[in-house]
A = this chain, B = another copy of it.
Amino acid sequence: MKAYHHGDLRRALLDAAVDALGEAGPAALSLRDLARRAGVSHAAPAHHFGDKAGLLTAVAIDGYRALALALAEARVRTGSYREMGVAYVGFAVGHRAHFEVMFRPDLHRPDDPELRLAATKAGNALAAGARDLPDGPGPAAGLAGWSTAHGFATLWLSGALPRSLGPDPIAAARTVLGAPAL
C-alpha cells in the first residue's frame, strides 16, 4: 500500500468527482465522499483544492480545455460552424459532469485566472469557426449559433425536449441546428 503519498491524488479526486457528478449531479457532491472513493482521509481534498469551489474550478478548467479541443477538431474535420455546434452538443452530452459545472458560476470561482484562460481559449475556438460563416451577417450570427447549440445541449440534458426527437442527441442536434433562424 501507499499509505501516505497517494501518487496522484489530485487526479484521482478529479476523476472521482466526475464519476460522482455523473451519478447524482452537482447538488449531491460531497468532498468526503470523494475522499472515500479515493481511499484517503476526509480532509485530504482540502489540501489539493482548498475547498469545494476550488475542486469544481479544477473540474471546469478540465472541461474548457476538452471543449476547446473538441471544437478545434470539429473545425478542421468539417470546416462547418454548424458541425461545430453539433460537436458542442456532443461534448455536453458526453462530458455532462464537466459541462454542468462549467456554466454554473455559483459552484466554482469564476475569476480564477486559469479558469478564465481556459474559457477564453474555448471561446476563441468557437469564434474562429464563426468567421468561416458565409459572410454578410454581423458578429451576432456567431453568438446566435453558440446560443442555439448551448440551449439545445442544456435543454437536452435537463430532459425538457420532446421525445419525438429520438434517442440520439447528435442526430437531433444536426436536425435542429440546421433549421432556419427566427
Asked whether A143 lies within 8 Å of B103 as measured between CB atoms, the reply is no
For the complex of A and B, the 4 pairs showing the least CB-CB separation, nearest first, are A151-B151, A25-B106, A147-B151, A181-B181
CA distance A143 to B162 in the complex (A): 9
What is the distance, in angstroms, from A120's C-beta to the closest C-beta of chain B?
10
Tell me, yes or no, whether A104 is within 8 Å of chain B by CB: yes
CA distance A138 to B172 in the complex (A): 13
Main SS at interface, chain A: helix
Asked whether A138 lies within 8 Å of B179 as measured between CB atoms, the reply is yes
Stretch from A9-17, A39-47, A68-76, A152-160 contacting the other chain: A152-160
Contacts of A151 in B (CB 8 A): 146-154
Tell me, yes or no, whether A30 is within 8 Å of chain B by CB: no
CA distance A43 to B107 in the complex (A): 27
Contacts of A144 in B (CB 8 A): 148, 176-177, 179-182
Asked whether A82 lies within 8 Å of B158 as measured between CB atoms, the reply is no
Tell me, yes or no, whether A26 is within 8 Å of chain B by CB: yes
> What would 26 A/B residue contacts be, using CB atoms closer than 8 Å?
A26-B106, A28-B106, A103-B158, A104-B158, A105-B158, A119-B160, A136-B180, A137-B180, A138-B179, A140-B176, A143-B161, A143-B179, A144-B148, A144-B177, A144-B182, A146-B151, A147-B147, A147-B149, A147-B151, A147-B155, A148-B148, A148-B181, A149-B151, A150-B154, A177-B182, A179-B181
